[in-house]
Structure 1
Amino acid sequence: MRNLYKTIFIVSCLFLVFEAYGQRTQGQNQIKLRGTVMDGSTQTPMNGANILIKTVTDSLLVGGVTDAQGKFEVNRPDIPQVKIEIKFIGYETITKTHNLRDPSDLGTLVLKEDTQTLGEVIIEGQSPVGEMRGDTTSFNASAFKTKENGMAEDLVRKLPGVTIANGEVQAQGEAVQKILVDGREFFGSDPNIALRNLPADAIDRVEVLDQKSDQSRLTGFDDGTYTKTINIILREDRKNGKFGRVYGGYGTDDRYSAGGSVNLFNGDRRVSILGLFNNVNQQNFSSEDLAGVNANASGGRGRGRGGWGGGGGSFYGGNDIGTITTNAIGLNYSDKLGSKVNLTGSYFFNNSNNSLRQITNRETVINESLTQYYQENLVNTVENYNHRANARIEADLNDKNSLIITPNISFSTRKTFSDRDAFTSNNAGDSLSALRSITDAENNSYNISNNITYRYKFDKKGRTFSTDIFTNWNNNDQYSELLAASVDYDRNAVDTTLQETDVLSKGFNYRVNMTWTEPLGEKSIGTVGYQIGNNKTDSDQRTRVFNEEMQPVLDTALSNVFENKFITQRLRTGYAYNNEGWNFNVNLDYQNARLDNEATFPNPGVFNRDFNNILPSAHVSFRNRETGMNFRIRYRTNTDEPSVSQLQNVVNNQNPLNLSVGNPTLSQSFQNSIFANIGKFNMEKNRSFFMFLNYSSTNNYIGSSTFIAEQDTLINGDVLLRKGGQIRMPVNLDGNFNTRLFMSYGTPIQKIKSKINFNTRLGFTRNPGLINGERNLNDNIDLSQGLTLTSNISKDFDFTISTTGTYTIVNSSLQENLDQNYYIQESNLRLYYSPNDGKLFVGNNINNSLYSGLSEGFDQSVWLWNIEAGYRFAKNNKAELKVVIFDLLNQNNSIQRTISDVAVTDVYTNVLTRYGLLTFTYIIGNFKQPENNGGDRPWGGPRRGGRTW
């Protein structure tokens, strides 16, 4: 805790320094310089030219970028004389001095081509990496070289502060939840579809931002709700025409991969079609579309690594444990209907079949001297069918009324078959129990939701009324069969179970939020609001046990009918102030919540609770355009109600050695969270720094109470738990908190035309739990240091070298001397080379995973080496034939460690191993060129830059 207080103190001091500095700089008057930049050869406006305002001694004061019309506006500090530089790659730099008495309108500035050459090599300037625009970090795509026919994922991997690991995209230390294309949704909120289906050479800029809620954006009042978002801005010459790729391949062991994506763009009207068919563990979408693929798999540190992407040529190592066959198709449509309505909609279908084998070692601390070990072998198959459709309609009905509608619907079917063999023992070497079970289950579900946001804008600037209405219907119908035999070593006896279970769960919830905003001056605004919501779930579980005559008999101990309602009402007041670089707002909410639980079978009972909470939140941000510094602190409070599965007092015995049961007396939890972000870009030197700090604590944390039977025990008076078996029940506990610190620093290495990034992560988590009635505090401290060296030489030679080492310290209050610390290091080398302008090419992707401190047999050094070689032909290298060898050394595997409040679990899972694949790919590209596409400019193609969102 002492270190935590030091960290918060340091951040607070930094904040005060920035505040003092910001007040000083804001005290200066500023002059707005404006002008237009033109191409001297074509006499056309230049989009994306860099405007730099410097002191006479060459210290950067402020910068800007021209828009699509070549125009710019830059605030010039009120000092006697400044130097103005206008830059664009491949053009001579214009340098001017500007005095206070000179006109603020610089007129038309003409850039001439820089024709200096050395042999056939053009003398290149360095393209600026990007800039900070308020809460948005904007990266210039042309500053990052990617290989021929590379995908958006290849580009995003190179961005400072962005990492992609195990299928998850993180930016500046936070998980990216949405990726937009030109400010529009692309196949809903799935971040991976855009990254793995859009070509890198179609991208102009990439923006990383915290996207506000629809209601906040319409009213102008920040409600503190953010979504970490990446917005991909396409080049102007890619917004009219068709582009994409199709591919197909076949290889050893009957491995195959086929699919493609086609984008038909005509201005605002855009249609994208994608397909994916393979048995090489390749999914170009997120795990939310693969519900059940990772069933019974443990998350946590480690990796499950799958196949080399068939068409994109990029290695994809996501959450793809087991061996997976995937079939998927999708359609995305976006258009502007008239001048007032924007429409986006998509449909996505996927079918997957996963076969996996797992070995699990779990170590559970019971008390200061006793530890129990659980070992399990699992064979599991999962088959999924998922349909998902969503839409977004944005309508400016007139200058006063605006409307946003976002409906979503999904249907899924999941079939699972599990064969489990388990064994428990203790640290004294005693065998306690064993289990063999077979489970066969089918689950059918649907989810329908809709969100409507409406805003009315009054004549008085800043005065608005808005309402946000959310509704959701869901249904989950599951049938399962269980055949189990358990061994009690004390009695030398075998117990058998044969049962079938039907579970029907239905839910409906709504939330209505009404907000009024009122201006309180030129730079401030106030708000009042009211919100009401209800989350209602009905669950009916019926378990039937087969008797000696093989007739099903209802088992009331394993059956339950339960209804849960969570009703909330909230009053909100808020104030916001905005002055140049400063933005500040504070909200104070009062919330009344009522939790109504009613059990009607087999034992009727009513459990009601009322909660009253004061929920403050605040946000302050500072942006200094002169120094490129961006600083933001957020504080928020929220409550979280228990789910119906946590409340329902019925035993789940799908694993007879690891039972679980709900707790109808649970209360809601209350969380305090603090977030701090610092970002700084030195646009002139292409250096970047980001820091993210998060602290949160939870009162009434919903943890677990674990009971491990020292002898045969009856649960709820009817369910037998054998010696060595355990049962978990959720309980409310205090003492949960976690802290995360992420820092990223990037700087170019000019001599080798590369950039190096350092990523540092520190984390501390405390999870309270109960085991056999004793309180345990499980503390995890993560120390992680990463380094990435990324080339920026050319599209014909590209490499990335990265390594990240994470040391985790695990402390248990019940056994303070128990050593469960471990170390995991992930290293990667990506190398691509083409000796003849993209025709012939070779690629290598070498991964090493080093594990130390895990269970016996899990400490390994695993190498995964993928190689590819191919030849591109036809016009503009549109056709490609390549050979891929995946897992050349045949060492691929998946090792994961998870840490709970009372246990440490290591899991080994089979993954795809060595195979070869011959793939043919054809690039589709047919664009309507702009009136002037650059002519014979030494750089060719369109100019980069600008922003459309």
Structure 2
Amino acid sequence: MKLLYLFIPLAFLLSLNTYAQDGREISGTVQDSTGATLPGTTVQLLTGADSTTVITNAKGGFVFNPVKVNQFSLVVRSIGYQAIKRRFILNADNKAVTLAPIVLKTETYMLNTVTIADVNPVKLKEDTVEFNADAYKVRDNAPVEDVLKKLPGVDVDKDGNVTAQGKNVTKVRVNGKDFFGGDLKTATKNLPADIVQNIQIIDDYGDQANLTGVKTGEPDKVLNITIKQSKNYGYFGQASVGGGKDAIPGIASDKEGNRFVAQANVFSFNGDRQLAFLGNLNNTNTNLFSFGGGGPRGGGPGGPPGGRNSSSANGITTARSFGFNYRDSWGKKITAYGSYSFADNSVFTSNNTIQNNLSPANPSTSTQNSSQNDENLNHRFNFNIEYKPDTVNYIKITPTFAYAKVNSTQNGNSSLVNNAETISNYDFNTLSNSSEPNYGANILFNHRFNGHGRNFSANVGAGSYSINKYQNPVYTYIEGAANAPLNQFINTNSRTDSIGTTLSFLQPISKRGYLELHYAYHYAHTTADKLTDTLADNGNREQYDLLSNNYTSSFITNRFGLNYRFIEKKYNYTLGVVAQPSVLRGQSSMAGTSTNISMFNFAPNARFIYNFSRNQSLSLNYNGSSSQPTYTELQPVTDFSNASYPVQGNPDLKPEFNNNLSIRYNKFNFESGNVFFSNFSFTKTDNKIVANTINYPKVYAPDSKLAGSILTQYLNADGYYSASGFYVFAKPWEKRKYNLFFIGNVSYNNNVSYISNVAADTYQMTTEKNIAKNLVLSQGVRFRVSIADVIDAEASTSYSINKSNNSISQANINNNFRMLNLGLNGKNYVWKNWTLSYDYSKVLYYGYTGATNPNILNTYIERRFLKQNIGTLRLSAMDVFNQNTGYTSTQSGSYVTQTNSNRLGRYYLLTFTLKLQKFAGKRPAMGGPGGPPPGGGPGGPPPF
């Protein structure tokens, strides 16, 4: 049998050589009725019982070589055009023939009887990359996530997070409308792939930009999923239930060692009306929704990393969640859509952290071991009403509400060592709870004048965001001075009310030129009250005025812009200028300080798009924007909720101003199927808010509270910049049965910080500026095999470097972390209804203290049964080798950390899944109300 496999390709090559000896070359072009060529068109040559198929190149050309017969037929098909079949009779000689151009007519209705031999997998538009889902085959009832994993330039990690062209995808839409408020995983993990027509990756500049066509600022990456018209009438439902056991009962926080899962989803499509219900209950680290957090920027740069990652990767999560999504047309002029999501999750996390603190005179190392239990409660509601009373007016109203509540308990040990001397060593136990209501509304109005291209739009929004937080940190000192109060009761109440408006007027000044006047106003008012009590020796609670404060701040920006947009067939550009005055006012009643800072920033604005062809494009974008300090960074009071790393705000901080440049180049080759995506971005920040970490000696007479601690303060500094780049090259064979991917990422940050040292004898402070140049580099290779109903597998490897060089040299700090990742994952389909799935990864860590090199294998065997395979029984074994551990590193201008977190270990799970679906196949009526299309194209302003 092995010899047979060797002779087959040899015989094939010999047959090609023989065939070429007596054939002729047949070539031609395909174009539309306007004379424009049609690349990506399918041309099939029929000679009796034989056929050959090619795809036209970038110029619409095709070649068949050799053709041995004199009579043949050509069948020509292109999406959006009527398919045709033509008969040709040639002379009896063997000379090459160039056929007259073949002209296709625009298709005005769907041809249900046409079967397309191959599809055009990729379309490039100005701000959109569109993938035809039929070109990336997956098995019946597979989720959309399985299709995403095959798309070039798109990456899906083990937690379901999606990146596209090197950037995080932040929102998902279905048929151009937000789905579950844009929550990505609700669609990618639950929608069945076989109802999807295409998947779009969009650089979205917002609704107002899509209406006017003038796009400035930094876009969001948005995923838009388009449902097949034949699937717009019907329903799909799936329910799963399962149970299992840990391999070693009693691991992590689950004393019984039992695993369970119960989930259900129902999708109903009835033309414009779309309903979705989702529910999930499990303790297998599967989160149904991703609730984003607002508010301040997490922990300060002087202490351990801020927010804990709540994804299923770290910790043990018990998730309870459900949600509802609605979309419908209320008559011919109104479209309404919205969702409600709820989650009640319990999370247990244990962390071991080593942090090396930079200091020219007193370098120190802290270690912290902790365990934490969180109870997270989340509600999220959003709704959208789009009203289009006529052909020239459009109104969109969007109310939103979110509520988050967290109850946490944390305990552990922390120690700080300086030159082999223990500065502090203490146990801590912290109880905290917080609630964060967040609500607002937005109104968008657009009016298109009767004149060609003249347009006016107004966007008004208002909102309120609050944090009500209680903390009770209790410290038990084992060694070293007790600097922080041993028992604190900290109540923090902050509220930010904001209102803003954006006005845009677009005026055509030539056949292809437009002038836009742009004005934006934003006002944010923050009140932050912090009250700290301590437990006195007599057992009474007493207010600690030095750690308490009432602080208010207001941040006002006015943004004036003038843009000129020019549109040609192959290119368009926008040139403009922006002037942005801003005022930051703050006042601390207890500290007796006030702030009044006025800034004026002036920056050009530029955007250039060049479409070399339908399959090759280049874009450049530059913009400037400002950001205000958080109240934590402004509030002039010391926070001792972390005894070793207190934080103190600076009321004299100025707002940051960012200058952003991005370049993107995409190319798709119709003939070979090769795909190349790349992007580059650069950011330079003026008045960057940076940390000044002050290292205090073990004994500090002027203020004993600071003795032995590392205090973080904030300053403004220039000199910060960052750059990042990404590329992916995909090479397919045999209609994408085999794919080779080369993927690379690089980022470089020139971080700025200040490091101060207080002398132990004189208490004098010296300060040095530190420049931390951080390089993160990753290169990966993947090879995927995808043969329908046989195998769908991918082998991958990647090597990554995280390295930092500091202008302040530290011999005791390792700043070179590297990882080698090896992986093999896939599914083998055997005996028609059996599936064997495997996901193996091997990680080799270099530079991490005490790191192991885990082998992670997740596998399952699955059997489909019942009529139409609606039932599935699956036996899973997760983390077969019981080595699931996670290591991460963080580097800044003040410290280098590495963290080891617990993850869900080995367990077995048996699940039963029932899937029901029925689609009428009725074609919905064309047209209907709607808002601005996702991503607008280069055709110019007003997309009405």
Query: Scaled by the length of structure 2, what TM-score is found?
Result: 0.84
Distance 1:804 1:476 in 2: 41
**Corresponding position of 2:543:** 554
The structure 2 residue matched to 1:827, chosen from 817, 822, 825, is: 822
**Corresponding position of 1:54:** 60
- Contact 2:203/2:221 (CA < 8 Å) preserved in 1? yes
Matches within 5 A, 1:421-440: 421-426=413-418, 428-440=419-431
Residue 475 (structure 1) shift: 1.7
1:176 aligned counterpart, secondary structure: strand
Q: Given the superposition, is the C-alpha separation of residues 109 and 363 from structure 1 closer, same or farther in structure 2, using an over 3 Å criterion?
A: closer
The structure 2 residue matched to 1:904, chosen from 871, 896, 900, is: 896
| 1:623 is the counterpart of 2:611 | yes
Residue 931 (structure 1) shift: 7.6
Residue 330 (structure 1) shift: 0.3
1:150 aligned counterpart, secondary structure: coil
**Corresponding position of 2:865:** 873
**Corresponding position of 1:66:** 79
- The one-letter amino acid paired with 1:690 is F
Once the two structures are superposed, what CA deviation does each residue of 1:207-264 show, in whole Å capped at 9, x if it has no partner?
1121232111222322345221111112222211110311010111211011121001
Q: Given the superposition, is the C-alpha separation of residues 863 and 677 from structure 1 closer, same or farther in structure 2, using an over 3 Å criterion?
A: same
Matches within 5 A, 1:513-912: 513-601=502-590, 603-625=591-613, 628-713=615-700, 720-723=705-708, 725-750=709-734, 753-772=737-756, 773-815=767-809, 819-837=814-832, 839-854=833-848, 856-858=849-851, 860-912=852-904
| 1:284 is the counterpart of 2:292 | no
- Contact 1:503/1:540 (CA < 8 Å) preserved in 2? yes
Q: Given the superposition, is the C-alpha separation of residues 819 and 323 from structure 1 closer, same or farther in structure 2, using an over 3 Å criterion?
A: closer
2:589 aligned counterpart, secondary structure: strand
| 1:231 is the counterpart of 2:215 | no
Matches within 5 A, 1:404-415: 404-415=396-407
**Corresponding position of 2:497:** 508
2:486 aligned counterpart, secondary structure: strand
Distance 1:132 1:380 in 2: 47
Distance 1:918 1:110 in 2: 44
Q: Given the superposition, is the C-alpha separation of residues 300 and 511 from structure 1 closer, same or farther in structure 2, using an over 3 Å criterion?
A: closer
- Contact 2:217/2:624 (CA < 8 Å) preserved in 1? no
Residue 621 (structure 1) shift: 0.5
Alignment length (residue pairs): 839
- Contact 1:34/1:71 (CA < 8 Å) preserved in 2? no
Distance 1:290 1:216 in 2: 24
Distance 2:354 2:192 in 1: 43
2:546 aligned counterpart, secondary structure: helix
- The one-letter amino acid paired with 1:54 is G
Q: Given the superposition, is the C-alpha separation of residues 703 and 429 from structure 1 closer, same or farther in structure 2, using an over 3 Å criterion?
A: same
Q: Given the superposition, is the C-alpha separation of residues 523 and 604 from structure 1 closer, same or farther in structure 2, using an over 3 Å criterion?
A: same
Q: Given the superposition, is the C-alpha separation of residues 111 and 180 from structure 1 closer, same or farther in structure 2, using an over 3 Å criterion?
A: closer
Matches within 5 A, 1:72-471: 97-99=99-101, 105=105, 126-165=118-157, 166-252=159-245, 253-286=257-290, 288=292, 318-367=311-360, 370-426=362-418, 428-471=419-462
- The one-letter amino acid paired with 1:722 is A
Distance 2:484 2:495 in 1: 34
1:783 aligned counterpart, secondary structure: strand
Distance 1:109 1:458 in 2: 32
2:134 aligned counterpart, secondary structure: helix
- Contact 1:147/1:797 (CA < 8 Å) preserved in 2? no
- Contact 2:750/2:774 (CA < 8 Å) preserved in 1? yes
Distance 2:900 2:478 in 1: 25
- Contact 1:535/1:566 (CA < 8 Å) preserved in 2? yes
Distance 2:772 2:212 in 1: 44
Residue 890 (structure 1) shift: 0.6
2:646 aligned counterpart, secondary structure: strand
Once the two structures are superposed, what CA deviation does each residue of 1:851-873 show, in whole Å capped at 9, x if it has no partner?
1112x212x21111111112111
- Contact 1:274/1:331 (CA < 8 Å) preserved in 2? yes
- The one-letter amino acid paired with 1:918 is L
- Contact 1:451/1:470 (CA < 8 Å) preserved in 2? yes
Distance 1:272 1:656 in 2: 48
Distance 1:751 1:31 in 2: 29
Q: Given the superposition, is the C-alpha separation of residues 572 and 467 from structure 1 closer, same or farther in structure 2, using an over 3 Å criterion?
A: same
**Corresponding position of 2:70:** none
- The one-letter amino acid paired with 1:466 is S
Q: Given the superposition, is the C-alpha separation of residues 774 and 110 from structure 1 closer, same or farther in structure 2, using an over 3 Å criterion?
A: closer
Distance 2:500 2:406 in 1: 30
Q: Given the superposition, is the C-alpha separation of residues 144 and 441 from structure 1 closer, same or farther in structure 2, using an over 3 Å criterion?
A: same
- The one-letter amino acid paired with 1:720 is K
Distance 1:96 1:342 in 2: 52
Using the TM superposition, name which of 268-277 and 475-484 deviates more.
475-484
Once the two structures are superposed, what CA deviation does each residue of 1:26-45 show, in whole Å capped at 9, x if it has no partner?
xxx97257999999xxxxxx
Q: Given the superposition, is the C-alpha separation of residues 594 and 394 from structure 1 closer, same or farther in structure 2, using an over 3 Å criterion?
A: same
- The one-letter amino acid paired with 2:606 is A
**Corresponding position of 1:11:** none
Residue 496 (structure 1) shift: 5.9
1:710 aligned counterpart, secondary structure: coil
- The one-letter amino acid paired with 2:716 is N
Distance 1:777 1:910 in 2: 33
Once the two structures are superposed, what CA deviation does each residue of 1:585-617 show, in whole Å capped at 9, x if it has no partner?
01211111110001112x222110101111321
Using the TM superposition, name which of 704-713 and 510-519 deviates more.
704-713
Once the two structures are superposed, what CA deviation does each residue of 1:132-178 show, in whole Å capped at 9, x if it has no partner?
13332111111112234321111101100011235431111111111
- The one-letter amino acid paired with 2:410 is S
- The one-letter amino acid paired with 2:314 is I
Distance 1:364 1:199 in 2: 49
- Contact 1:648/1:662 (CA < 8 Å) preserved in 2? yes
- The one-letter amino acid paired with 1:531 is A
**Corresponding position of 1:19:** none
Residue 437 (structure 1) shift: 1.3
Once the two structures are superposed, what CA deviation does each residue of 1:431-463 show, in whole Å capped at 9, x if it has no partner?
221121111111112000222111121111111
- The one-letter amino acid paired with 1:574 is N
- The one-letter amino acid paired with 2:79 is T
Residue 500 (structure 1) shift: 0.9
2:292 aligned counterpart, secondary structure: helix
Matches within 5 A, 1:921-940: 921-930=913-922
Residue 826 (structure 1) shift: 2.6
Distance 1:358 1:261 in 2: 35
